[in-house]
């Protein structure tokens, strides 16, 4: 079995004496690395401060080597905050209005990808299989190919891939597409993202569909596919069941006696639709006065990317919005919105999901959204809650028994909250069971295995030249 090399922007290095890292992706990839042996390479998250080129530091844990590099301040500014988070993230989430194109940031992005390739190449053996994660590293294969690397290289995009007119608004779209064409397997979250990719290339006359998911573009043949990411369903369900005994979760439970709990959990990000969701909740309370004093909405929103101005502004706006709603609707003994910007420990989060009668997951656009899947896995089978899910989350392609909503339709979301809170037990059980059955089969291990199976079976660089 060939060695696996995972490359991602950040690397979840296990910390001594601490529990395994949270999050299904880290768990699944670490399991695959442990089985095959391999390397997980990426940015340490630290800045070397200087212009001097940082070196790789390795941490060995059994069969896994974590290879980390610092970046210079300029790299972090241009590659990470600049191009990745202010061009690719908004554009791929259909927000071209928020994209800030700058030549300096664009060239910083390609420069850091070249740097990653230079650091990675000496670590590679000829039959290693390389799996690159996400939008930060699209040009990595192209840089490795320029250095003569012929290994199988796969790429998985965790965020959406927008349709042609949105994608083409990005000045360097052609280099980004060409970068994707240098992989042997390009995986997307959903069939919609895949269709957008194929549609854009065919429309622009730069790609051609072949059989079995193969695609031809930029003088290369590569496989494409939809690989919906998931969670460790069974483990998370067991975790949530145990979590209700956690002291903090018990405290939370006693604070909502006589109330129905509605929960929202999202990294602070404009793609997650949090202000729109607060509006919908406010409208729900105003339209259903009987719920005043009888429902609590807990929104957990850990801060992220505060260095990017849009995020910093949003942090302030949300605090103001939650404060305004609480001020206008709250009473001496009832707070309509409990708004937290601190991160909650994973066992507590699992317990809170289980306590909540309604999971509100209403992104304006989301690659998948794992919160939706975690909420389902955490429910009590005898008394499950209701998932309200945006049709613009990748998860909506699978979780069709959720109450699917359009997050732009405030009234529609408000009505869905009312419907969820009054849904009869039988209907809740039926909807939940269908989604849980699906997630038990389609878990993160399946995601990882499906991608790896396809990647290890695609023709290696050089072999498909004959097909061109």
**Measured from the CB atom, is 49 or 302 closer to ligand GDG?**
302
Q: Please tell me the distance from the alpha carbon of residue 400 to that of residue 26, in angstroms, as a whole number.
A: 27
> Quick one: which of 30, 113, 230, 369 contacts ligand GDG (CB under 6 A)?
369
> Quick one: which of 105, 128, 374, 443 contacts ligand GDG (CB under 6 A)?
374
- 23 is a site residue for ligand GDG (CB under 6 A): yes
87: number of Cβ within 10 Å: 24
Beta bridge partners of 337: 297
- The pair of three-digit structure tokens given for residue 322, joined into one six-digit string: 């939650």
Which stretches of 204-357 are DSSP H helices? 233-243, 247-255, 274-287, 309-329, 346-355
Q: Please tell me the distance from the alpha carbon of residue 8 to that of residue 186, in angstroms, as a whole number.
A: 15
Verify whether residue 158 is a known catalytic residue.
Answer: yes
> Quick one: which of 200, 274, 349, 355 contacts ligand GDG (CB under 6 A)?
349
Stretch that binds ligand GDG, among 41-49, 111-119, 369-377, 446-454 (CB under 6 A): 369-377
> Quick one: which of 11, 185, 355, 370 contacts ligand GDG (CB under 6 A)?
370
Q: In the window 220-239, what residues touch ligand GDG (CB under 6 A)?
A: 229
Instruction: Report which DSSP code applies to 34.
Output: H
- 367 is a site residue for ligand GDG (CB under 6 A): yes
The 3-state DSSP class for residue 244 equals coil
Verify whether residue 409 is a known catalytic residue.
Answer: no
> Quick one: which of 292, 343, 449, 460 contacts ligand GDG (CB under 6 A)?
343
- As measured in angstroms, the least distance from the Cβ of 467 to ligand GDG is 31
- As measured in angstroms, the least distance from the Cβ of 128 to ligand GDG is 23
**Measured from the CB atom, is 22 or 60 closer to ligand GDG?**
22
Q: In the window 132-191, what residues touch ligand GDG (CB under 6 A)?
A: 158-159
Q: Going by DSSP bridges, is the β-strand pair 214-217/220-226 parallel, antiparallel, or unpaired? A: antiparallel
| One character per residue 300-319, x = contact with ligand GDG (rule: CB under 6 A) | x-x-----------------
**Measured from the CB atom, is 78 or 193 closer to ligand GDG?**
193
The answer to whether residues 268 and 318 touch, using CB atoms and an 8 Å cutoff, is yes
- As measured in angstroms, the least distance from the Cβ of 350 to ligand GDG is 9
| One character per residue 32-61, x = contact with ligand GDG (rule: CB under 6 A) | ------------------------------
**Measured from the CB atom, is 48 or 304 closer to ligand GDG?**
304
3-state helix vs strand vs coil in the chain, percent to 5: 50, 20, 30
- 344 is a site residue for ligand GDG (CB under 6 A): yes
Stretch that binds ligand GDG, among 17-25, 57-65, 209-217, 436-444 (CB under 6 A): 17-25
Give strand ranges (E) for 36-166.
Answer: 38-47, 56-61, 64-71, 129-133, 152-156
- As measured in angstroms, the least distance from the Cβ of 459 to ligand GDG is 27
> Quick one: which of 111, 241, 259, 267 contacts ligand GDG (CB under 6 A)?
267
For 14, 63, 232, the CA distances from 19, given in Å and listed in that order, are 8, 19, 16
Q: Please tell me the distance from the alpha carbon of residue 441 to that of residue 457, in angstroms, as a whole number.
A: 23
**Measured from the CB atom, is 207 or 367 closer to ligand GDG?**
367
Q: Please tell me the distance from the alpha carbon of residue 401 to that of residue 436, in angstroms, as a whole number.
A: 10
Stretch that binds ligand GDG, among 242-250, 365-373, 406-414, 428-436 (CB under 6 A): 365-373
Catalytic, out of 366, 438, 442, 454: 366
Stretch that binds ligand GDG, among 20-28, 41-49, 142-150, 203-211 (CB under 6 A): 20-28
- As measured in angstroms, the least distance from the Cβ of 374 to ligand GDG is 5
**Measured from the CB atom, is 184 or 366 closer to ligand GDG?**
366
The 3-state DSSP class for residue 186 equals strand
Which stretch of DSSP H or E encloses residue 174? helix 173-181
The 3-state DSSP class for residue 182 equals coil
Beta bridge partners of 208: 216
Count the site residues for ligand GDG by CB under 6 A: 22
Q: What angle do CA 351, 357, 359 make, to 5 degrees?
A: 80
Is the CA virtual torsion 70, 76, 78, 80 positive or negative? positive
For 281, 388, 416, the CA distances from 412, given in Å and listed in that order, are 11, 11, 6
Q: Which residues contact 324 (CB under 8 A, 6 or more apart)?
A: none
Active site residues: 158, 366
Site residues (vs ligand GDG, CB under 6 A):
22-23, 25, 158-159, 229, 265, 267, 300, 302, 343-346, 349, 366-371, 374
């Amino acid at each position: 079995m060939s060695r696996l090399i995972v490359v991602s922007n950040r690397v979840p290095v296990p910390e001594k004496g601490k529990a395994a890292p949270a999050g299904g992706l880290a768990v699944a990839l670490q399991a695959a690395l442990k089985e095959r042996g391999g390397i997980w390479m990426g940015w340490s998250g630290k800045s070397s401060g200087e212009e001097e080129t940082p070196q790789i530091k390795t941490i060995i844990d059994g069969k896994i080597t974590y290879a980390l590099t610092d970046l210079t301040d300029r790299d972090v500014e241009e590659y990470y905050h600049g191009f990745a988070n202010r061009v690719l993230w908004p554009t791929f989430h259909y927000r071209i209005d928020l994209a800030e194109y700058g030549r300096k940031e664009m060239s910083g992005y390609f420069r850091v990808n070249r740097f990653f390739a230079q650091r990675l190449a000496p670590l590679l053996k000829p039959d290693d299989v390389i799996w690159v994660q996400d939008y930060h590293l699209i040009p990595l294969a192209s840089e490795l190919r320029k250095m003569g690397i012929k290994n199988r290289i796969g790429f998985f995009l965790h965020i959406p891939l927008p349709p042609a007119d949105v994608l083409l608004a990005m000045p360097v779209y052609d280099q980004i597409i060409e970068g994707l064409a240098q992989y042997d397997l390009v995986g997307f979250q959903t069939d919609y993202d895949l269709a957008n990719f194929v549609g854009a290339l065919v429309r622009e006359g730069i790609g051609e569909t072949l059989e079995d998911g193969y695609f031809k573009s930029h003088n290369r043949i590569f496989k494409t596919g939809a690989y919906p990411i998931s969670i460790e369903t069974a483990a998370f369900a067991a975790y949530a069941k145990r979590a209700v005994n956690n002291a903090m979760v018990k405290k939370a439970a006693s604070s909502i006696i006589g109330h129905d709990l509605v929960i929202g959990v999202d990294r602070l990000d404009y793609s997650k639709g949090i202000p729109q969701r607060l509006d919908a909740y406010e409208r729900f309370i105003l339209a259903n006065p009987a719920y005043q004093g009888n429902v609590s909405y807990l929104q957990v929103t850990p801060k992220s990317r505060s260095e990017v101005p849009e995020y910093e502004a949003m942090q302030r706006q949300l605090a103001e919005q939650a404060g305004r709603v609480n001020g206008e609707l709250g009473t001496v003994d009832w707070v309509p919105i409990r708004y937290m910007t601190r991160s909650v420990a994973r066992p507590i989060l699992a317990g809170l999901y289980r306590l909540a009668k309604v999971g509100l997951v209403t992104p304006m656009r989301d690659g998948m959204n794992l919160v939706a899947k975690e909420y389902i896995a955490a429910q009590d089978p005898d008394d499950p809650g209701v998932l309200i899910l945006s049709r613009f989350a990748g998860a909506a392609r699978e979780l069709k028994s959720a109450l699917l909503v359009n997050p732009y339709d405030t009234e529609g979301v408000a009505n869905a909250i009312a419907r969820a809170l009054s849904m009869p037990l039988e209907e809740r059980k039926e909807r939940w069971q269908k989604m849980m059955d699906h997630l038990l089969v389609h878990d993160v291990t399946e995601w990882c295995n499906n991608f790896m199976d396809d990647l290890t079976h695609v023709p290696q660089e050089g072999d498909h030249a004959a097909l061109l």
